[in-house]
Structure 1
Amino acid sequence: MTAVRTVLGDIPAEELGVCDAHDHLFLRSPLLPGQELDDREAAAAELRAFRAQGGRAVVQWTPRGMGRRRAELPGLARETGVRLIAATGLHQAAHYAPGALERHTEGLAGKFVADLTTGPVRAGLVKVAGGFHGLDAHARYVMAAAAEAHHATGSPIAVHLELGTGALSVLDLLCGQLGVPPERVVLGHLGRSPDLRAQLRAARAGAFLAFDGPSRAHHATDWRLLDSLAALAEAGFAERILLGGDTTTAGARSAGGGPGMPHLLSALRPLLAEELGEEFAAQVFTGNPARAFAADWRG
């Protein structure tokens, strides 16, 4: 059955609604000491603020071993009325404490499949990560396991691109060598490297392109975003675009002084409607996520 797998069960894709296609409710990494997202009430407040702006769904990309707190997600979804999609997968090796990575990588594909198909809280995607302009051995191993899990379940695969780079290497491995259909791949952080040629090539290949992390001054995000989106739309690829917040620290949440999830709808969506049209805005926030995160689930 073609459906979006949420933490409260599978739903028809057309019921997903206005979606933040890449964010984090909970997150922990040794690369972000003291900046953990581990406050349930703060997560609930952010979801309520997002819903107040018209948001109906959030895709949490936090993978295994990074404090994803899957057991908390169904309660948050019920309390806030926001549909939540959880992730399995693994991030770059640097995001795991010494000794922890080995425990996660053993039998990795089987762990991904189990997260996607068993238990009271099932994941709805596999999160993997590339490196800066390339793929190391860890990335290739994790992506091979993700591809195996996709072939077993139908799951989408969401990819962290380091500073927005390496999209074509990822597609060559996942799609060219491992047989994952490109429309099952979501490439994250495209806006962090304003390389329009690479963005167009990834779109032509058939992948979904996620532009996320708005208002990060040290990335080419907001100030280049409209140029990229306009060029992609003009080239006929509006149906491949996704938008997300990618909130990774408490200070980036709306209650902490950052833009947070509500910024996508309170500031960015009106701008997109004004510059590129209401039809475009509706497509990237509602129609495209419904296609990107739906799957013909097996298991």
Structure 2
Amino acid sequence: MSAVRTVLGDVAPESLGICDAHDHLYLTSPQLPDQELDSTAGAARELAAFRAAGGGSLVQWTPYGMGRHAGDLPELSRTTGVHAVAATGLHQAAHYAPELLALLRAGDLGALFIRELTQGIGDTGVRAGLIKVAGGFHGLDAHARWTMEAAAEAHRATGAPIAVHLELGTGALDVLDVLCGELGVPPARVILGHLNRSPDLTLHQEAAKAGAHLAFDGPSRAHHATDWRMPDAVRALADAGFADQLLLGGDTTTAGARSVNGGPGMPHLLRRVRPRLQLAAGEGVVEQILTTNPARAFAAEWA
């Protein structure tokens, strides 16, 4: 039976409600010095603000080794009433100490992903519900291919969806060539993130025709100069018949971007982005993107 694997256990896909399909309650990286999301109190306030705006579920794309706080996620979910999905996987090499990457390379990365999906993250008992990997700028390096091979292995063993960080929104077709063409992952189990950062409408349609889910995420990021083009991209894809493959997320990555700290944060997705997209694509399409599509994208027949 198809289910979404949340931090409180497997749930029926339709129970997700309105879903922020890509965000972060916790995130640490050497690429974000002094901007870490590592406060449980701050995460609780932000998640409660998202709930007050009408949110029902959130998918945290924070992967292995980047401060997931997996053990804190169940209580946050219970307290706020928001379903939360945790991730396994690995980001770009720049987000990790060389010593950690060397240790991971000496082991079995696919087995690590499978263990976190089926047994739990560390000793928390919290099982991941998706696999996060990352491409590069207009291409894939050896690190990306290694992580994608492990992700494909974990997908085959569990059925888990694979979510992909596209660097500045580029490289979508390269990712699909590797994950789907070479490694045999069904395109419908792949979620391509950050497509709003590269508003190439032709490329968007090619990725959609391949069968992948397309995530438009990052309106909380102040430096994204292409956000104003997102409604046109969403409308174009919906008009072309791909509305059932679209997802929306906030991708809050720094403490300063949180609404409780004066930034747009997670509620911005529902307070401002949703009505703007409704003007462009219609209320029915936006409702589908926020509820029906994530229920399908993040569900799996878990092995």
TM-score by length of 2: 0.96
8 Å contact kept, 1:213–1:244 = yes
Distance 1:215 1:78 in 2: 25
Alignment partner, residue 253 of structure 2: 248
Match of 2:98, SS state, is coil
Alignment partner, residue 118 of structure 1: 119
Alignment partner, residue 217 of structure 2: 212
8 Å contact kept, 1:65–1:104 = no
8 Å contact kept, 1:18–1:286 = yes
Alignment partner, residue 192 of structure 2: 187
Amino acid at match of 1:26: Y
| Residue 280 of structure 2 is aligned to residue 275 of structure 1 | yes
Distance 1:274 1:129 in 2: 32
Amino acid at match of 1:134: G
Alignment partner, residue 66 of structure 2: 66
| Aligned residue pair count | 298
Match of 1:186, SS state, is strand
Q: 2:135 pairs with 130, 155, 172, which one?
A: 130
Q: CA deviation at 1:215?
A: 4.8
Alignment partner, residue 55 of structure 1: 55
Alignment partner, residue 16 of structure 1: 16
Distance 2:255 2:64 in 1: 20
Structure 2's unaligned 5+ residue stretches are none
Q: CA deviation at 1:104?
A: 2.9
Q: CA deviation at 1:220?
A: 3.9
Alignment partner, residue 237 of structure 1: 242
| Residue 164 of structure 2 is aligned to residue 163 of structure 1 | no
8 Å contact kept, 2:220–2:257 = no
Structure 1's unaligned 5+ residue stretches are none
Match of 2:202, SS state, is helix
Match of 1:99, SS state, is helix
Distance 1:98 1:114 in 2: 23
TM-score by length of 1: 0.98
Match of 1:187, SS state, is strand
User: Structure 2 matches for 1:37-48, cutoff 5 A?
Assistant: 37-48=37-48
Q: CA deviation at 1:181?
A: 0.3
| Residue 30 of structure 2 is aligned to residue 30 of structure 1 | yes
8 Å contact kept, 2:63–2:132 = yes
Change (3 A) 1:220 1:181: farther
CA deviation string 1:120-174 (max 9, x = no partner)? 2000000000000000001000000000000000000000000000000000000
Change (3 A) 1:145 1:98: same
Match of 2:36, SS state, is coil
Distance 1:97 1:143 in 2: 20
Alignment partner, residue 81 of structure 1: 81
Percent identical among aligned pairs is 68
Root mean square deviation of aligned Cα: 1.0
Amino acid at match of 2:237: L
Q: CA deviation at 1:216?
A: 3.3
CA deviation string 1:245-288 (max 9, x = no partner)? 00100011102221100001111112222332111111010010
Q: CA deviation at 1:217?
A: 4.3
Distance 2:41 2:226 in 1: 29
Amino acid at match of 1:148: E
Alignment partner, residue 151 of structure 2: 146
8 Å contact kept, 2:20–2:58 = yes
